[in-house]
Amino acid sequence: MSSDDYPHFPSSHARNILSHLLQKLRSRSSRHYQRYGEFLESAPDQIEALLWNCIQPDILRHIECEDFHPHAAIPRIPYSSLRSSTYHGRSIYLHTIYAPSGHPRLYIGQAYNTAFRIAQHLDFRYRRSHRSLHHYALELSAADSFTLLATLTAPGSQPGMQRPDLVLNILEMWCSLVFRTLRPRVLREWLPDGVEVGVGMGVGGLNLAVPLDQGTARAGMGTIKLLEESEDPLVREYCELVRSKGQGSRLDDSYGVAMSGAGKVVLTAGAVCAAVLVVRYFMRRTRA
């Protein structure tokens, strides 16, 4: 599929999406207001500028161009942005996964140590104990690549940096909206009126959990319902796999936490595996 075959989005859409997202989070009627509202109201202009400046310059040029499309832009991004496996800082990254047919699927994630997080994704032992739609697609892929979308390097004294966790969540949500990696229902809820959701445009999104919920007990709730609504054969296959494992409708598919029937947070095997990998990683660095 050539870039001419993709629908194009307005050049201002990335900025519009960010402004709309922040406006919704500042709304007192939003369920996210308690967590994000006061934080954003403390310095609204400075925090919006912080978020915008986190985006890598070459990525910014592509998401602002007239013919932007989430997948068509990837081959044109300079290789310097693709070396995320050597970056050890905080970031938002894009994982492009190609099926044997050549069909691309996109996943966006966040990391406090990007190189370590990518190593987790590429470790089959980690994937085996941390099942997710993202990892399921990777297991069946023919090729894949990582792209560094944004980095969080601002000093702690800068407005907004008192809560870097919230900044990363908002950055991940924004990037997921720009690249259309969330489920269609979530995209319709969070994109501005008149902005194309992009369903059926040839790229499959692999993000299930809403990034804004990361770090809370709500993370991943309702993801099975979102799986059931998909027309993507791979997503439907994964949905059947999850149901056959008896994991229920309150599975967290992204962050290694599941909700028990009583509503309590319990660690999955993936979360335990991640903790072990973290310990091993820092032990190796200490010995080095």
Q: What is the pLDDT of residues 164-183, one digit of tens each?
A: 999 999 999 999 999 999 98
pLDDT band, residue 63 (cuts 50/70/90): confident
Average pLDDT, stretch 40-50?
A: 97
Q: What is the pLDDT of residues 104-118, one digit of tens each?
A: 899 999 999 999 999
Sort residue 137 into left (φ over 0), alpha (ψ -120 to 50) or beta. alpha
**Least confident segment among 123-132, 199-208, 262-271:** 262-271
Q: Which residues, in sequence order, are CB contacts of 225 under 8 Å at separation 6+? A: 249
Nearest by Cα to 92 from 170, 189, 157: 170
Report how far residue 35's alpha carbon sits from residue 26's, in angstroms, rounded to the nearest whole number.
10
What letter does residue 55 receive in the DSSP assignment? B
Q: Residue 38's pLDDT is what? A: 95
Q: Residue 256's pLDDT is what? A: 38
- Give first-to-last CA distance, the chain, whole Å: 46
What is the rounded radius of gyration, in angstroms, for the C-alpha atoms of the chain?
Answer: 18
For the cut 60, the answer to whether the pLDDT of residue 273 exceeds it is no
- The SS3 of residue 207 is coil
CA dihedral angle for residue 4, residue 8, residue 14, residue 20, rounded to 10 degrees? -160
Instruction: Give me the helices (H) in the chain, please.
Output: 13-26, 38-41, 44-54, 57-64, 114-122, 124-129, 133-139, 164-178, 184-190, 223-228, 233-244, 269-287
The token duo for 268 is 């999955």
Which neighbouring-strand residues pair with 266?
Answer: 258
For the cut 60, the answer to whether the pLDDT of residue 285 exceeds it is no
Average pLDDT of the chain to the nearest whole number: 79
pLDDT band, residue 244 (cuts 50/70/90): confident
